[in-house]
Every structure is written in C-alpha cells, then in structure tokens.
Chains A and B, each alone.
Chain A
Amino acid sequence: MPPNPLANWEKVGDSFYRKIAVYDAIFEDDIELENYIVVGAPYGGAIALYRDESKTFRLRDGQGSRSTIDIYSCSGRKINRINWEQATIRGLGWSDKEELLVVSEDGTVRRYFGLDGEFTSFSLGNGAEEYGVRACQFWSSGLVALLSNNQLIAVSKYDEPRPRLLAPCPEGEVSSWALIPPAHTLSRSVEVLLAVDKTVFLIDSTEAEDKILQDGPFKHISVSPTGRFVALFTAEGRLWVVSNDFQNKFSEYDSKSRVPPNTVNWCGEDAVILGWEDEIHLVGPNGVASKYYYDGRVHVIPEFDGVRLITNDTCEFVHKVAAVTEEIFRLGSSSPASVLLDSVEQLEKKSPKADENIQRIRSSLPSAVDTCIKAAGHEFDAYWQKRLLKAASFGKSVLELYNSDEFVEMTEKLRVLKASRDYKIGLPLSYEQYLRLTPEGLIERLISRHEYLLAIRISEYLQIPADKIYVHWASQKVKVSTVDDEAVCKLIVQRLDGKPGISFEVIAQAAYDEGRSHLATQLLNHEPRAGKQVPLLLNMEEDELALDKAIESGDDDLVNYVLLHLKSKLPLASFFRMINTRPMASALVETAARGDDIELLKDLFYQDDRPIDGANVLLSEALRDTDLTRRTEKLQLASRLLSDSKEPTVVLNQKLVSEASQLLKAQDALDKDLADHSEFLGLSVNETVYRLIRGGYGKRAHKIQNEFKMPEKTFWWLRLRALVAKRDWGELEEIAKLKKSPIGWEPFYNEILGAGNTKLASGFVPKCSHLPPAERIEMWVKCGMIVKAGEEAQKTKDLNTLELLRTKASGPAATEIERMINQQRQRK
C-alpha cells in the first residue's frame, strides 16, 4: 500500500509544510542527546556530537573523563571519533565542504577535513587569547568569533585564514547575536547583528550601527537564508519577523512561554522554527504556528531549504511543500498535472477515462508534464517518484514534440539521490540541496566516507572525472595496507593504469606521511608532471632529484625555490658542487646572488675558478663605492685575483684593471693640482685629455697620453675637438703650420667649419691635397670662397663647374669667375 502523499502535510497559514521521516533508530538509547551539543553539516552532511560541559551527566564504563567529538552520519552511523584534549570548546561548526571547525576558548581554530581526523589549525589572535572566545557563528566558508570583551573576529576563508577584527562594538550585555554571510550583505563582507541591552547593533568591518530598538533584550536573533528577514525573540516570549533593515515588522507570534527556546532557526524563507527541549513550534507568516511534540530531546539542524530534526529515534526533514507538489497533490486539485497523474491510474485500469483526461488537458499538457517531472524531484518516496515519472512519460508520449532532456536528467538525479539517501550512506539530500551541492560535491562527500564504489559508479553514471576517487582510494590503501612496498605499488599502479588525471604525487605524499619513503619514491616515478614531484622530493630530502625534476619542468620559479631551500640547508661547498653540473641552476643562483648576496657570488666564482668573473664582482663593487681608497683597494684586489693566470684574456683584463686604478691615481693628482673640487676623478682617459686641453693644460694632456699609451690619432682628434670647443683659433692655426696630421686635415676643416670659423677652415682646404678636386671645390664653396673654388676648377679645366659657380657668385667674385670661364674658353 503506497503511503499517502498528504500524510505528513501541515497547513501553516496559506501554505503547507511537510515533515518527512528520513531515517529511524538513529542513536542508541544510552546516548543522552540532551547532554550533547549537536551540530550538523549543511546538505544532509555529517553530525558532530560534543558533550555539553555545562550539564551534569552520568559517567559510563570505559568512557573516562576524556572528552571527544563524535561524528555520525544522519542515519546514525558513526563515522569517526576525535579525541579532544585542548581547551574548552567554544564553537563547533561546519563549512560547506564538510570541514569541521572547532574553536577553543583560547582562540585556536582547528579545521578537520575529510572526516578522517586530519586537521590544520590557526589562531584567531587579535586578543582572543587574552579575553577568551565566548561563542562562534559559522557560515558556508567562514566564521565569526565573539570574545568576552564583545570584540568580534571574522575569518572569511580557511585556506589562507586572515582573522580580522570587526569594528569595535559598544559595551553592554550581549544577549544574542547572528551573522549575515558576505553573499547577502551590501559590503560583500560578513556583518554581524549583535543584540546588546535593549537594542541591536549591525557591525561590519568599519562601523557599528545602532538600529535603535527599544524592545530588547532579544534572547535570539536569526537571519533568514537569503538575508532578507531577521527573526527576533523577545524576553516576553514573542517572536518577531522584521526586514533586514529593521524598518518593517512582518509578523509577530506569541509563544506563551516564559522560557526562551533553545534554538530559533529559519525553515526556508517563510517560516521560523522555535525549538525547546521536546517541543517544536513552526511559525509561518502572520504569526500562524503549528506545534510538534517529542518524547525526548530534539535537536534542530538548519538547512537553507528547511530544517532537520534529530532525536534518538528519528531524523526528520521539515520543509515547505514545493509549489509543484502542492499543485498535484492538494486535496481537490484539478490542475492539469494532477489530472495527468490520475490518467496513469486510469490507464492501468485500462479505463477509457485515461484518454478522456488527456484530451481534457491537451492544451496545457506540456506544462503538466514539466510539473510532474519537477514534482518527482521533490518527492522522497520511490513509489510516488515512479508514479509521477510515469505520468510524465505517458503525457509526453502523447505529445508530438517534447524535449526529453529534463525527464532524462531527472531520472538520473533521482537514481543518484536514492543511492545517497540509503541509510548505509546516510546523506539525506533534498532535491534542492543536491542541486546546490553539485554532483562533484556529493562525490567528495562519498570519498570522505570511503564509499569509493558508489562514488565511482556515480561518477561514471554522470560522466564526472573520477581521478580524485582513485587517488583517495590509493592513498587510503597506502595508509592501511601492511604488505610490502613493491606489492602495494604494483597493486595501485595496476588498478589506476589508464585512468586519466591521476595525481601520483598526492598518493606518494600519503605514503611518505606514513613513513614509507621507499614506496613514495616508487609512486612518484609514475607522476607525469615533473613540477608536482618537487615539493615532496624536497620533503623526502631527495635534494638532487628534486632539483633535476624542477629543472626538467622548465619552471624557473620552481628551480629558484629548490635552490633557496638547498642553499639554506647544505654546506656551501656541496651546494656549489650540486649546481656546478647544472647550467640552469648555476645561472639562476648567479642572477639571484647578484641581487642580494654578493659574497655568495664571490665564493661561487672562487670555487669554480673563474677569476675574471670574480674580479668583475670586485670591479662592480669598486664602481658602487664612492670612497677613493676603498675603490683602489677593490681594484687592487681584483688585479691580484687576475694575476695568477697566464691566460691571455685574463692577463689583458689584469692589465686593464691596473690601468683603471692607475688612472684614478693620476686623476686624483690632477684634481689636487688643478681644481678645487673633483673635476677629473672618474673620467675616462679620453675625457681627461679633452678637459685638460680645453682647460689649457696641453703639457699635462701629453703626459697622460704617454702614460696611458693613447694612440696618436685619438690624441689628435681629442685635441682638435677640445680646441674647437675652446675656440682656441690661435692654437689651431699653429697646428695648421705642421706638415702632417695623422688624421688628415679634413677633420680640421669640418670641425672648424662646424664651429662657424670659415676663414680658419678655409686654411685647411689646400692641405687636403689627397681629396679629388671636386670635393675641394665644394669645401671652398662652403667657406664662401667662390673664387678659390674657381681656381681649383680652373686647375682641372672644369668648365661646367665654373659655370655652375658663376650662378652662385656675386659682386667681384662673379667677375672673377667670368674671367676664368673666358680664360678656359679661350684655351680651347
């Protein structure tokens, strides 16, 4: 006999609520739930039980005085027991990923993941240790702790926890508090409602805003799942539902109880659950309520779409009946979907009414089919799921065109839900919860319950990557198996062969953590990603292998990381030996050392016998130093470093380095003799000579030239440029009297002309005897000496040029050119 779908419906105001018994016989009778704090993970997750220390209890055999946190599935299967030897627990909660968070009085937070008892921990800081944590509230990915000095500390992610103080809040007695998760606040970071004395404060990271209420103290505050409403429970036993800005009051309910309830939770978005020891009030809109009574203590675990009620005997799920379900099953419903469901029954009876029904709702049949499919999802009972799907199937068979995707997907989802709701698994997911949890999330939960087979089946069924399942399985295998390393490795490799995406690195890490480093190495060889192997290899002290793998990955950052690690760990000599044969490593060490560790660089070059590199380091140091003595010392040091070798390059470098210090000495002397401040020090040889000549110290310039064996040509160029810059035409004229110049005379002409002295420049034109006449003519012209140009042209009997020149000439020059032209013509 199928259960009546309406059996557990309860009308609260205008809408229906449904209480479904999901599991029975949860806890053994000797667990006295009234003495425990019970918190459940969202989405039908695990339940943590912790003995409430404020209550007396009966000591039982073998339990001792050690306190523990017990983790159960919703169906009462014990998953794990965590021994707790730390300070008093002040906060117990779960994250969305089913990580158990335990906050102790001294501000230590432990995050247990994977239900296996493994944990990481961090401290809240910010004065938590001093004042002590009073209570904690959790949301899907973070927590807020209330200290006894009314300070609030927020942690918004657990991977890299950054405990942050919220704005300081006012003095006073905190009677209750609640947080608004970041997703529902305007500031996009967590905010807290704090009931202090008669009013409520809204506290975010920067300020505490007084909402100015007068009806406190409020014994409970609870924020609705979407953050739009707030439920307040007053000392007079009244429940108020107000908008989140505290401006509008939507409903009020008088519980008629002077004892405030233990818990006030939202059941979906429209109703509030008040929970006393053994009594539950379900308060809907407009203050209408429905009451449930129990024999023993009942615990309330909130979900976003309802609540779970846990007693020793049952695990129940209370939620609002979905609109589609109501549409079909409500007494007297004549909606198309309801008619469609009825037709299936008629069809089974082979009654013609089936067809009649269909014809009647023909026009709205597609939506009726949709409704039936959706309603099937919300149904917990397999019988009614099947009935509804059958109705949908019948309905769509009549339709000519209907997209069956949703139907198929729903059957898939229902199968998965059925499997996970099984009491052996104990994940009582509602349809909505499954959608939010996602199939991947479900698989993670199965993995942490070691339900590998089901996880793999589901991942194959839904075509989801299964690598994590295999990896977790293998890691577990490594931990528990007692056979020898070879056999385990073989087993794992065989089993995982051909499975894509397997991270052997994780498995190897598990093996290493178990102290089986040989096995770890073996497993690591199967990891295709070189980079992934590195951190573990480092942990395993396989330094050389780690370095090689890092280099293999080509990731310079990873290599640097390994090098940094090795440098701090190994004696310098062996460190150098290790990088010596690896060019990439030594290049990176060199580069890094150049930035921050010059001494290491020197050691490296010394060890490698690279005198030039070593000397160059000293040279750079000398360049950075401003003190002359220290500079010279460095240069001498460099020179000494180079003097050991007979290698020509080294010898040359040695000479040049000595020359550098010699130059500094000479310049120092010049500065002392000629200038009152340092004018020459640090200049190059050429610049020194140039400045000396420009300053009129020709002799000293010569001396420098000789001392540093400056080529004659260079000296001449410098002299020319310096004299031109000095506008020392007299000296230049003197030079012009010389017979020969190693750089020729053309530069003199050019430079002087460039300086604007055409007269002097012209003096050099005749000296450029090696140039072709045409160029010399051009040179004359540039000096404005057309006649001279003409004479040049006349020598070569170049009539054309002469005629060209005539156009440029004016005044007496023109007549002169004219004369030359005539002369030329006559000769012809």
Chain B
Amino acid sequence: MAPLSGSDADYFRDKARRDLLTLLEGARGKKNLVISQELAGPVGLFVKFSVLQEYGVDRVFLLENANIDSSQRNVVFLVRGEKARHVRIVAEQIKRLQNNGNVEHEFSIFFAPRRTLMSNSVLEEAGIIGDVNIAELPLYFMPLEQDILSLELDESFEDLYLHKDPGCIFHSAKALMGVQQRHGYFPRIVGKGDNARRLADLLLRMRKELDAEDSSGLTDPSARGLLPSASVENLIIIDRDVDFGTPLLTQLTYEGLIDEYVGIKNNQADVDTSIVGPAPTPQSESSKAPQQVKQGLKRKIQLDSSDQLFSQLRDANFAIVGDILNKVARRLENEYESRHTAKTTGELREFVNRLPTYQLEHQSLRTHTNLAEEIMRLTRSETFRKTLEVQQNNAAGADSTYQHETIEELIARDVPLKTVLRLLCLESCMSGGLRPRDLESFKRQVLQAYGHQHLLTFWALEKMELLQPRSSATTMLLPTSGAQAGSKTNYGYLRKNLRLVIEEVSEKDPNDISYVYSGFAPLSVRLVQCVLQKSYMVSLIKGGTPAASNTPNTTSPGWLGFEDVVKSARGATFSIVQKGDDKAVRARQTLSGNSATKTVYVFFLGGITFTEIAALRFIAAQEAPRRKIIICTTSIISGDRMMEAAIEKGSFVKAE
C-alpha cells in the first residue's frame, strides 16, 4: 500500500468537507440549509459558513427552531438518518412548506451518515418520499484535534447505557472500518467491556462481509483484500461502563474544568461576556459555521490547538495554570518591551511584523486569565471544597458512610442536582452500591429537595447501573441487568493492584497520569497502560519508585501479564489478532521494515472526558516517537453529561 500522506484528522476533515460540498453542489442554485442542532456544531468543525455560501447556501436554519421559510425555492435538510424523531420533524416542515407556500419548492434531504430504512418508512408514511431528493452524507469521524477523532454523537451515552440501544456501536464499527480501509486492518484488537466486545465482533463480521463482497482478488490488489496494517499496532477499545467512576469525579485539568463549569461543545465554549469581555472585532476567520449568535450574553471561545496558549494550558492540572499564565504574561511583557531596545530599522521592522502575533497572544492571555480567575472563584467556594472532599475520599477508598452527612448537607443547601447525584453515583460505583437503607434515605431526600419527578431519574440511574443498592437481592428484580458476580468493576481491588491512588504525585512536574485528578489515576487509562506500558505498570505495582518510563517495553501483546487484574473490571476482556495472508504480510514487512512509528488507536466507547484525554496525551508523550496515539470516541463526556442523560427534565410546575 502506498504510504499515506496526511494525518487521519486531516483526511477525515477533508473527506467530510468534500462530501458535503459535492452534495450541496448537486442541489443546483441558491438554497436554504436546514440543519439539526446536533449536526450544526460538528459541521462547523470541518467547513466554514463562508464556504457554504460559496456553494449556494443562502441562509442556515436550525431544524429545531422550525422557522424555515420560503425565501428560497431550494431547501436542503441535513439530519441524522437514525433518529426517527428528526426525520418526522423534517417531514412535518416539508409538508408545511408545501401547503402554505406559493413557491414550488425543491426539497433535498441529506442523511448523515446513511439513509435508513427507518427514515424511508417515516417519509413514506408522511407521503412525501416521492417529492424529495434523498442523498447520504457519510459523516463518521470528525477530528477535534490532530489526535482526537470523535463521532460527536451527543446521545451515545444515553442510548448505550440507558436505552441499551446499540446503534452507536454499529456507527462506531462503520467509522472504524473507515480507518481500516485507509490503513489496512488493525493487526490486533484489544478491549475491555461487553459493548467493546460487541464492537470488536462487529468489526470482525464487517471485515468478513467486506471480504465476501470483494468480488475478486484478481484485480487491483491495492483496493481489494485488505491486509493487516503495517503502520498500526493496536486498536484498544475501552467500554465506558468499565470505568464509570472516573468521569464522575470533578475534572481537575484546565480544559476539564472549563468543560465542567462552562461546557465545551465541538471545541467551543459559550462564556459569559461578563467574564471574558465582549468578542473582539470579528475577523473573517471567526465566522464559524452555522451557529446562532446570541449577542451580548455569551461569547463563543474557540478552544483548540490553534490557540497556542491554550495548548499549553489545556492538559495541565489547574493548580499550576496560574503559574503558567504568569510566566507567559511576563514573557509577553518582555517581548513587547523589546521595542524600546530596537535600534536599527531592521529590528524595528521585525518587531512590527510580529505585532499581530503579540496582539493575538495577548488577546488569548486575557481571555484565559479571566477564565482561570472565574474558575478559581468557583473552586474556592465551600460547596466545591466539600464536594471535592467527598469525591477524593471515595476515590481513595475511605469508608463512604462518613461522607453521607456532607452529602445530606449539600442536598439541604440546594446545590445543583447533578452534583449530588454524581456523588451518590460515585460512591455506588466505587463501593459496589449503596446500602439499601442509605439509598432509600437519599432517595427520599433528593425527591423532597428536587421534586418527585426524579423518581424517574433514580430509575434511569439504576438502569444504567450507576446507582444501585449494594445487596444483589434487589437487583434480581431488574430484568435488564442480571447482576452476576464480576459484572461490576471492583475498584477496591484495582485501586491496590493498578495503583490508582498515588499520593505523592507532583502536579507541576508530573511523573504519572494520576496528576490529572491530583492523585487519582483514571482506571480507564490505567487499562490502556496495561497494554502499552507494561514494564512501567509492573514497576509501579511492585512499589518503589516507578521506573523511568522510557525503558523499552516488552513486546508482550494484548493484556498479557495483566489478565488476572483486568478481570476485576467489569465486562468481557479480549485480545484478537486479525490475520491476513501470511505471505503478503511478510512481503510487506520486508519492504517497509519495522522502524517506523506505529499508531495505536484508543477507542472510548460511550465517551471520554477531557481529563482522560490529558492522561492519554501524557502517555503519548512518553511513547513518542515509537508510538503515536490517536484517541477515538463516540463523544466527549463529563460527569454532568452522564447525569443529564438520566435526569428527568419534566416537572410538576406548570409551564408558564
């Protein structure tokens, strides 16, 4: 196979852009674009509004606003084909336009990532399938960064663990097939968790089907009969439910905290202008994507590697963010002052040339200083302190009943429900459930404090196995969760055997991933280390000082060496070798040699937190240049988002 140019991120970005623009071109002339909320953000990741305009898009509407008008004859809808609800809304809007307009509309629907039988039947029912042009936009992985590919399925967590709807596993499998078709098969698929196993099985099945579909091995061997990739080492799949505990903790990296308190969506955060000040004069570049721009209240801040300062800050523990900001401020000051020392006109010109960079950096510095200050204010509050204390005690394995009083106080003080539920779920996850008596009492208190509609919330949490009574007697009742032994992650055992808690970690100069939670290493990432950094893990577990991490890793593949430990985490454990034609593999090995950097794909099924990303990047930095880690996920998640999936939104208060 010819060496591939460009990173996966660039490739998927370009492909998505090309696909969309080609489709738009297909709908001739000027058109209005109606896009569903959940796709609007992701589309902004790979194409700018100005480009859409070049392709004839006149105005962009959000599907949910239902305000599409007849200003253009051509109307293009862009929605996910898997969501019957959205397709129904599309059908309604098309019918509305057909009925009330005096314009003879031309409708197109682009289904991402595929046209489904479901959507066909919905359109058929509505009686409009004959009136619309239907096309597919194969939108799978969207790059958030060079090392992060996300499917941006906002509802994947809810679908997977609450509704047990495996749609996003299929979606993930399709997406990973896309990676395989680019690079060749993953030589090995390592994974943990039942859904991960299902994903791996789907990948194997799809490969078999692809082989069957490849009509002949005779022609064009480069396109047919894929081989195991020479440039990829592993695919590691981690099922979120293996480690529900980690995301429930409050994230302590800078980016993690922004996500906790402001929320980051598609690399953007809506920050109150009272914190960061109003938007600077709009540059042409900042006109990102079809977004509603609310003037005055919120300002969109782009949070990605295009902001150099942010790249420096994002993965650092919040404790040292202040230091970094100070340092940068001082450096900028010095550089700026250098204009006085500039003597020759050449020096002066150089300074002037660099002026825009300074201004940009200055702007970014101001933004982040303000943001950091705001977060600092929040982290100093008493409730934050108490919450964090409960969390850290739970993470460290202290007797959780001592925390109950604090939690009760937080309930009485009316802290956000999410915060309370996170603490309860955290305890349940970390210690295998709450005592039934405690659970009952908390249920009563929460219901009394936040409303009885949360009876549904608790039920959802139980279904997701986030919050459960400890004895298994009652779990027998849940038909969807046969709670057998080993079906829960045993944090107690793993805490010790994978050294999840490291007291003496330095936040400033970290030597272990536990810095991200100030002393707690995410289990999910420890599992990845069990595959990638075996010697480090061995020395870490044996105690003593962790060996320098750059000792050559033994090449024992898969879970080898950690099978027993890993068994204590929930769900299936597997390591599958994908074999190809031996001769071809050997031939290619001799051709390409083994010296090149190998890529490892780490797929978090059900979502990943920014903090875990930071931990994975920490590993990636240690493994470079031998390995490159690409993080894939269904979506970015946080404890709050997990809770939101369960929390009942309705209430008994009459809507005014």
Q: Which residues does A use to contact B, with CB under 8 Å?
A: 162, 187-189, 463-468, 500-502, 528-531, 552-558, 560-561, 564, 583-584, 587-588, 590-592, 595-596, 608, 610, 612-613, 616, 619-620, 622-624, 626, 631, 647-650, 652-653, 656-657, 659-660, 663-664, 678, 681-686, 708, 710-711, 713-714, 716-718, 721, 743, 750
Contacts and interface: CB of A to CB of B under 8 A. Distances in A.
B479 A714 contact: no
B39 interface: no
Nearest to B382: A750
B477 A557 contact: no
Contacts of A664: 652
Contact of B455 (A463, A592, A656): A656
B452 A684 contact: yes
Contact of A464 (B81, B117, B216): B216
Contact of A684 (B202, B408, B448, B456): B448
A587 B164 contact: yes
A463 B219 CA distance: 6
Contacts of A683: 451, 652-653
B28 A663 contact: no
B277 interface: no
Contacts of B198: 554
Interface string B441-485: 001110111111101100100000000010000100101100000
B336 interface: no
B165 A652 contact: no
Contacts of B85: 595
Contact of B445 (A464, A583, A711): A711
B31 to A, nearest CB: 15
A682 B163 CA distance: 28
Question: 3 closest pairs, A vs B, by CB?
Answer: A465-B215, A682-B653, A682-B652
Given A560-B117, A616-B456, A464 B219 contact: yes
Contacts of B212: 500-502, 528-529
B82 interface: yes
Interface in B393-444: 408-409, 411-414, 436, 440, 443-444
Given A529-B212, A648-B474, A678-B654, A583 B164 contact: yes
B116 A557 contact: yes
Nearest to A621: B650
A616 B408 contact: no
Contacts of A590: 163
Nearest to A501: B215
A537 to B, nearest CB: 14
A652 B443 contact: yes
A434 B653 CA distance: 74
A595 B436 CA distance: 33
Interface residues of B, number: 71
A204 to B, nearest CB: 11
Given A649-B477, A660-B455, A501 B213 contact: yes
B94 to A, nearest CB: 15
B652 A714 contact: no
A420 B382 CA distance: 87
Interface SS of chain A: helix, strand, loop or mixed? helix
Nearest to A627: B654
9 contacts: A500-B215, A531-B209, A554-B169, A554-B170, A555-B170, A556-B82, A560-B118, A686-B412, A711-B408
B218 interface: yes
Interface string B204-241: 01001101111111110000000000000000000000
A657 B202 CA distance: 42
Nearest to B114: A557
B655 interface: yes
Contact of A554 (B173, B208, B652): B173
Interface in B106-161: 114, 116-118, 121, 130-131, 133, 159
B444 A656 contact: yes
A743 B82 CA distance: 52
Contacts of A685: 447-449
A364 to B, nearest CB: 35
Contacts of A564: 118, 121
Contact of A187 (B28, B131, B164, B215): B28
Interface of B: 28, 81-82, 84-85, 114, 116-118, 121, 130-131, 133, 159, 163-167, 169-170, 173, 198, 201-202, 205, 208-209, 211-219, 382, 408-409, 411-414, 436, 440, 443-445, 447-453, 455-456, 459, 469, 474, 477, 479-480, 648, 650-655
Contact of B456 (A592, A619, A717, A743): A619
A531 B459 CA distance: 34
Contact of A500 (B116, B214, B648): B214
A660 B84 contact: no
B452 A717 contact: no
Contacts of B436: 648
B118 A557 contact: yes
Contact of A561 (B121, B170, B219, B445): B121
Contacts of B413: 717, 721
B5 to A, nearest CB: 27
B63 to A, nearest CB: 16
A682 B117 CA distance: 42
Nearest to A690: B414
Contacts of B655: 626
B205 A588 contact: no
B53 to A, nearest CB: 20
A119 to B, nearest CB: 20
Given A553-B205, A584-B166, A717-B413, 19 more contacts: A162-B131, A464-B219, A500-B211, A500-B214, A552-B205, A554-B166, A557-B116, A557-B117, A557-B167, A592-B84, A595-B84, A626-B654, A656-B447, A656-B452, A660-B447, A682-B654, A714-B412, A714-B448, A717-B409
B322 to A, nearest CB: 23
Contacts of A529: 209, 212-213
Contacts of B166: 554, 556, 584, 587
A539 to B, nearest CB: 14
Contacts of A466: 215-216
A683 B651 CA distance: 8
A603 to B, nearest CB: 16
B477 to A, nearest CB: 6
A500 B218 CA distance: 10
A631 B455 contact: no
Contacts of A465: 215-216, 218-219
Contact of A623 (B81, B202, B443, B453): B453
Nearest to A708: B448
A188 B28 contact: yes
A811 to B, nearest CB: 30
Nearest to A714: B412
Contact of B165 (A528, A591, A682, A750): A591
Nearest to B216: A465
Given A587-B164, A657-B455, A713 B121 contact: no
A624 B649 CA distance: 10
Nearest to A743: B409
